[in-house]
Amino acid sequence: MNEKPFDNRPIGVFDSGVGGLTVLDHIVQLLPGESTVYLGDTARVPYGTRSADTVIRYSLECAQALVARAGVKVLVVACNTASAVALPLLSSTFSVPVIGVIEAGARAALEVSRGGAIAILATAGTIRSGAYLSALRRLGAECEVIGRACPLLVPLVEEGWVDGVVPMLTLDRYISDLVGRADVIVLGCTHYPRMRRLLRQLLPAAVAVVDGGVATATQLQAVLSEQGLLAQPGRVPNHRIWVTDAVEAMVRMAPDFLRIDMGEVNIEHVEIAAHG
């Protein structure tokens, strides 16, 4: 009888900055035996205000670094903007499985929807792409879908401003007219879960707030299992974080995102492109 195959290569995860750590945290909690390499393209954050062509180029460079240098067995695009515009090309370019966050987030939103509007809080790039609307319609959603670009939230999270008057007023400006219209709010940017506590204070209890990170980790687990890519049980995993700029900021902020011993995480600077 053939033994079940194992694959101890790391999982690759990338985002424009620190936001994708919210997805990485769910992955590590669900798959504690898996090693990971997270690439935060902090030199070029945010992606949400860039053109689609630029986001595609940046995404290809991040993915190439993870595949060629880290030898990852799967790519998780932990950036909604990159998932919205670059996922098809990434999937056709690389031989490893590529998983985005939008389909998982849309599916999670439908599971809690009561038939009212679904509001997507996201970057301008994600909203322009229409990716969430397309995903929801593919999944059978017939309700109203409201896209709301929130360009100031990523810079606030990157600076660690997730409490206090400024982020509260900023959030209120973006969502005040959604109260009474939407019964589901989708956090359509991986930075936004850091604002979840403030968001809950501004919304009625009946409004569901969806973070696609949990669903993305569950999808990843299924892909690894189906394709024989799970790591060998009982092994001690290794976690690395690569950043393209501001290592000190990542060292300071990562513990706020990750529920693991940061003493076991190696954080280092990498160059992935000759030009920004």
Give the Å distances, CA to CA, from 144 to 28, 132, 138, 210: 34, 12, 14, 16
Residue 164 burial (CB count, 10 A): 10
Pairing of strands 11-15, 74-77: parallel
150 is catalytic: no
d(CA 67, CA 75): 8
Q: What is the DSSP letter of 63?
A: H
Given phi > 0 = left and psi -120 to 50 = alpha, else beta, which region is 237?
beta
Q: Provide the 3-class DSSP secondary structure of residue 52.
A: helix
Residue 105, C-beta contacts closer than 8 angstroms, at least 6 positions apart: 80, 132, 135, 186, 187, 188, 210, 211, 212, 215, 216
Pairing of strands 36-40, 98-99: unpaired
d(CA 155, CA 165): 15
Contact 64, 2 (CB under 8 A): no
Which residue is catalytic, options 62, 79, 143, 150?
79
Q: Provide the 3-class DSSP secondary structure of residue 72.
A: coil
State whether the Cα torsion 64-66-71-73 is positive or negative. negative
Residue type, 105: G
Active-site residue list = 79, 189
